[in-house]
Chain A
Amino acid sequence: QSALTQPASVSGSPGQSITISCTGTSSDVGSYNYISWYQQHPGKAPKLMIYEVSNRPSGVPDRFSGSKSGNTASLTITGLQAEDEADYYCRSYTTSSTFVFGTGTKVTVL
């Protein structure tokens, strides 16, 4: 199972909006709405930001939102803040009853 494709880096100024894409295939992203997104700060464990495409766990700011179209899922951060600078990973369930992560995106707040 190949990793889902994410841009290596995305940047934006405080207050701006950015979108991170996550491209898979019809065997993973395109088959299920079981996409989750994780934020990871250096030296820390990942943190769940979005599950099942667009659901936010309690405590996650509503400036984080998710969507999906075909084989591509997206995470959008509106009103970018300094603390959003981190690595972000998408993950999808697959038709093999396994999971696959994305390659990861480093978000830089300029």
Chain B
Amino acid sequence: EVQLVESGGGLVQPGGSLRLSCTASGFTFGDYWMHWIRQDPGKGLVWVSRINGDGSRISYADSVKGRFTISRDNAKNTLYLQMNSLRAEDTGVYYCARGIRGRYGNDYWGQGTLVTVSS
């Protein structure tokens, strides 16, 4: 059974940092693109970043470029999102999601972890 479990969320002050983790199980982690997606409180979904299976191809939304870094450790079946220079507008539930192998779409999602940026 495919499972994705996020962790690392919490309350952080503006300008602070946080690292999110997503631990995967039930599939060959290194064979899949992985994404981070944010849901603003009571609002819609926002795509944040993605990384390919071996970590050689990465892209970011303009709103986080230069502040967030996506990475992965395939030996640990874990995806990361290092978030620096956090702003209030980064607040939300962060989901990790698996990309369909060879196709465009996210077929499995974690339960999400809440990040709150506030003083």
Contact = CB atoms under 8 A, between A and B. Distances in A.
A103 B45 CA distance: 8
B45 A93 contact: no
Interface of B: 35, 37, 43-47, 50, 59-62, 95, 97, 100, 103-107, 109-112
Contacts of B61: 1, 98
Contact of B59 (A52, A97, A104): A97
Interface of A: 1, 3, 32, 34, 36, 38, 40, 45-48, 50-52, 55, 57, 89, 91, 93, 97-104
Contacts, number: 66
B109 A101 contact: no
Given A46-B95, A97-B59, A98-B60, A52 B105 contact: yes
